[in-house]
Amino acid sequence: MKYDDNIESALTQIAVRLHGDYRLSKRMIGLLLLQDDAEIHNVVREQEGMEYKSILDIIQQTKSQYSHSPNYIITMARQAECNSILSDVVSNLFKRKRGIAESLSRLMMNPWTGIPILLVVLYFGIYQFVGVFAAGTVVDWIEGVLFGDAESGYILPYVTRFFETIIPFRFLQELFVHDYGIITLGIRYAIALILPIVGAFFIVFSIIEDTGYLPRLAMLVDRMLKWIGLNGRAVIPMILGLGCDTMATLVTRTLETKRERIIATFLLALGVPCSAQQAVFIGILSQNSTALLLWISVVVGELLLVGYLSAKALPGDQPSFYMEMPPLRLPKITNVLTKTYSRMQWYLLEVLPLFVIASVFIWIGRLTRIFDLVIAGLQPIVRTIGLPNNVAEPILYGFFRRDYAAAALYDEATGATGLTGNEFLVAAVVLTLFLPCIAQFLIMVKERGVKATLMMAVAILILAFGTGFLLTKALNIFGINLSLGG
Amino acid sequence: MDISEPAQELLEKLWTDLEETQRDSISLNALGLDKNASEISELVDLGLILFPKEMLLKFTDEGRTEAEKAIRRHRLAERLLSDILETKHQLIESAACKFEHLLYEGMDESICILLGHPKVCPHGRPIPPGECCRKEKEVGSRLVAALADLNPGQDGKIAYVQAKESQEIQKLMAIGILPGTPINLIRRFPSYVFQVGNTQYAVDREIADEIYVRLENREK
């Protein structure tokens, strides 16, 4: 296509001065230079040396001919060309009809109807399907019946006996089997526990994604997320975090600025509970609706407050929000399954090795008695926030497998020397806020660097224990005594 | 105040030069003028400029206000010519120079309201806000308004996009927000949702403030 005379003559003049090797046509290079493409400017500056200055003069000269940037002129010319081609061949551009989809779309975008819709989606999609069905029914079967433990079940008894036969030393056996071995803990944890939960979550997420609901959710919460230094776009990693924080941390790559990526990573690590954690906490806390509400509001409040403060503290501009609202569609089952499959595949390839590493760490930590030291060191802190000594162990192990801590707490809560309702709530809040699991931690190092990750870790430790301390005090002051039956 | 056209032009030139250099005085040499030029003595007589030092020129407070008003008229005229009268870009500058002299006191205000209180001229330079912008007076009917000021259901065509950074404009152009394209606002809260062509977008207040729309049906 041809542009107007000013642009064309500039293109000719620039082409004469280009001698380097660019792979693109000289005309293309000229157009990109006129449009102030930073990358092409760098390449041309390197390749042309002295000539670059005269090229800049030509661009300057061209710019002075217009009241708009050449980029604008070029885009408008292209648009006009498009329109003239289209007008010859397209007779009836379909208009978006005000059908059911469009009406539903508008209901989703109206806060009065949109927020109830969101709650319904979360209740059925996350709570019922992921929490109750996958984390309850499915996990019980795979973990309890299929894997079993050293004595019963279909897999573990044989594996345990196998390793006991080929390895004569107990401490080496423990690397693979028994309570914290690579197979009993790492592999079993990843496959029997996390895989079904995360898999169910991925199914729900893929369905939600394919309907086109996410952009509507993004526009609904944009104002709220702006408040904590993010924008509507961040809703996608945040919702993913409810499934698996490790994957969500990877997805923060899609955010525009470094500032947003740091805030999102930090909030995911601090207080977005992954599905494994939710399953256990909600399971126990739902026996007492006050406890459940307190847990949710303390964690959400903490996220908002910390997000607000980090948005104030971190330099950089508030990014602007814009997003396409695609029409709502019924998801195709094949697409949902393909997506879920590829996400599960990613999960097994990326996350499974990290759980194996975690098992090795636990093995070393126990063998060298470093863990005993850390637990002893944690106990005074745990006592300070008003919890019994034996909570220290679940807190440490919680770093290696997030739900382990919750499950261990469950034993404490229901055992003879059990935790009181108040203690369980405080422990649940501390563990939700506490350092993420080791898989997420390693991804954070990979994505944000060692320094930023360590700073976040320190902040999280202080916030988690500090909140636990204040919560205990607050419960005492207001004389709240929660009881968890069963 | 009655000022001759050359003196008026000098006033505006002084204002833009000071705006660009961010200083409060300018040398006569930079203006390429002689101290005895008739327009200079006219402005000095009117008490609009003064010489703090030999060969150095400065506004008086009154002069700065007067110049600001002139600039405002000029840039509003440019906006009017390009957005409403759709004058060719190459002609705007010269037409605006003539046009601004027709905008007497008060008329600039009506035009400013008509154009939805534009913040920059077509060249991207800021338009000094007038009394009406500060009060955001919404009297009379408007022809152009920021997307953020439209009512849901209102139709129009995109008049222009005004953004601080060219990157931002590029982003918006890439998603099809181009002058001349029909646009329809669907809702204002919690984000601005609008339809352009066959596509719907949601944007925040900042972006909705940058898209100026030429209104078509003026209901409500």
Closest CB to B198 among A96, A218, A321:
A96
Q: Are B47 and B62 in contact (CB under 8 A)?
A: yes
In this prediction, residue A415 carries a pLDDT of: 59
pLDDT at A65 over 90: no
Q: Could you tell me the pLDDT band of residue B220, with boundaries at 50, 70 and 90?
A: very low
Q: pLDDT, tens digit, for every residue of A359-410?
A: 888 888 888 988 889 989 999 999 999 888 888 888 887 777 665 666 666 6
Q: What's the rounded mean pLDDT across residues B146-153? A: 89
pLDDT at B173 over 60: yes
| Two tokens, residue A318 | 């508030």
- Mark yes or no for CB contact A71/B195 under 8 Å: no
For residue A351, count CB atoms less than 10 angstroms from its CB and return exposed for 0-12, middle for 13-18, buried for 19 or more.
buried
pLDDT at B141 over 50: yes
Q: pLDDT, tens digit, for every residue of B107-132?
A: 787 788 778 888 888 877 888 888 87
Range from A19-33, A127-141, A303-317, A430-444 that averages highest in pLDDT: A303-317
- Mark yes or no for CB contact A320/B123 under 8 Å: no
| Two tokens, residue A468 | 């636990």
Task: Report which of residues B56 and A304 the model is more confident about.
Answer: A304
**Surface of B (164-193) touching A: CB under 8 A:** 166, 168-173, 175, 178-179, 186-187, 189-191, 193
Closest CB to B123 among A67, A320, A327:
A67
CA distance A322 to chain B (A): 4
Q: Which residue of chain A has the CA closest to B93?
A: A67
In this prediction, residue B1 carries a pLDDT of: 61
Start-end of H helices in A90-234: 100-109, 111-121, 139, 156-166, 170-176, 188, 195-211, 213-227
| Two tokens, residue A337 | 């399954």
A107-115: which pairs have CB atoms within 8 A and are 24 or more residues apart? A108/A213, A108/A216, A108/A217, A108/A220, A108/A328, A109/A216, A109/A219, A109/A220, A109/A325, A109/B186, A109/B187, A109/B193, A109/B202, A110/B187, A111/A220, A111/B189, A111/B190, A114/A216, A114/A220, A115/A220
Closest CB to B190 among A72, A215, A222:
A222
Q: Report, in angstroms and rounded to the nearest whole number, the Rg of chain A calculated over CA atoms.
A: 28
CA distance B176 to chain A (A): 9
> Which residues in A lie closer than 8 A to residue B195 (C-beta atoms)?
96
- Mark yes or no for CB contact A325/B193 under 8 Å: yes
CA distance A72 to chain B (A): 8
Four-point Cα dihedral B162, B168, B173, B177, nearest 10: -50
Please report the domains of chain A, with CATH numbers, ordered by start residue: 5-89 (1.10.287.1770), 103-272+321-348 (no CATH)
All CATH 2.30.30.90 domain ranges in chain B, comma separated: 144-215
The alpha carbon dihedral of B46, B52, B57, B63 has a sign of negative
In this prediction, residue A405 carries a pLDDT of: 64
Range from A113-122, A178-187, A308-317 that averages highest in pLDDT: A113-122
- Mark yes or no for CB contact B92/A67 under 8 Å: yes
Q: pLDDT, tens digit, for every residue of A322-350?
A: 999 999 999 999 999 999 999 888 888 87
> Which residues in B lie closer than 8 A to residue A320 (C-beta atoms)?
168, 203-204, 206-207
All CATH 1.10.10.10 domain ranges in chain B, comma separated: 66-135
Q: What's the rounded mean pLDDT across residues B188-201? A: 90
Lowest mean pLDDT among B139-143, B144-148, B169-173: B139-143
From CA A441, how far away is CA A450, in angstroms rounded?
10
Q: Which CATH number fits domain B144-215: 2.60.40.1120, 2.30.30.90, 3.40.50.300, 3.30.750.24?
A: 2.30.30.90
- Mark yes or no for CB contact A106/B166 under 8 Å: no
For residue A437, count CB atoms less than 10 angstroms from its CB and return exposed for 0-12, middle for 13-18, buried for 19 or more.
buried
Asked if B141 reaches chain A (Cβ–Cβ under 8 Å), the answer is no
Q: Are A206 and A339 in contact (CB under 8 A)?
A: yes
- Mark yes or no for CB contact A324/B187 under 8 Å: no
Side chain identity, residue B133: C
Q: Could you tell me the pLDDT band of residue A118, with boundaries at 50, 70 and 90?
A: very high
Helices A100-109 and A213-227: angle between axes, nearest 10 degrees: 10
In this prediction, residue A470 carries a pLDDT of: 94
CA distance A60 to chain B (A): 15
From CA A18, how far away is CA B148, in angstroms rounded?
45
In this prediction, residue A97 carries a pLDDT of: 60
Q: What's the rounded mean pLDDT across residues A420-426? A: 87
Q: pLDDT, tens digit, for every residue of B78-110?
A: 888 877 776 666 777 778 877 777 777 677 877
Q: Are A307 and A313 in contact (CB under 8 A)?
A: no
pLDDT at A95 over 90: no
In this prediction, residue A111 carries a pLDDT of: 93
pLDDT at A308 over 50: yes
Q: Which residue of chain A has the CA closest to B163?
A: A320
In this prediction, residue A109 carries a pLDDT of: 92
In this prediction, residue A485 carries a pLDDT of: 60
A334-339: which pairs have CB atoms within 8 A and are 24 or more residues apart? A335/A206, A335/A210, A336/A203, A336/A206, A336/A207, A336/A210, A339/A202, A339/A206, A339/A209, A339/A210
Closest CB to B201 among A36, A72, A324:
A324
Q: What mean pLDDT is reported for chain B?
A: 81
Does ipTM surpass 0.85 in this model? no
Q: Which of B161, B170, B171, B204 to mutate to test the interface with A (most CBs of A within 10 A)?
A: B204
Q: Could you tell me the pLDDT band of residue A412, with boundaries at 50, 70 and 90?
A: low
Q: Which CATH number fits domain B66-135: 1.10.10.10, 3.40.366.30, 3.40.50.300, 3.40.50.11810?
A: 1.10.10.10
Q: Are A35 and A74 in contact (CB under 8 A)?
A: yes
**Surface of B (14-73) touching A: CB under 8 A:** none
β-pairing, B211-215 vs B155-161, is: antiparallel
In this prediction, residue B69 carries a pLDDT of: 85
| Two tokens, residue A391 | 């909570």
Place of tokens 């020397």: A417
Lowest mean pLDDT among A119-133, A223-237, B124-138: B124-138
- Mark yes or no for CB contact A68/B171 under 8 Å: no
Q: pLDDT, tens digit, for every residue of A227-265?
A: 999 999 999 999 989 888 888 998 899 898 899 999 999
> Which residues in B lie closer than 8 A to residue A68 (C-beta atoms)?
89, 122
Q: Are A240 and B210 in contact (CB under 8 A)?
A: no
| Two tokens, residue A124 | 């059925």
- Mark yes or no for CB contact A71/B168 under 8 Å: no
Q: What's the rounded mean pLDDT across residues A199-212? A: 92
In this prediction, residue A417 carries a pLDDT of: 54
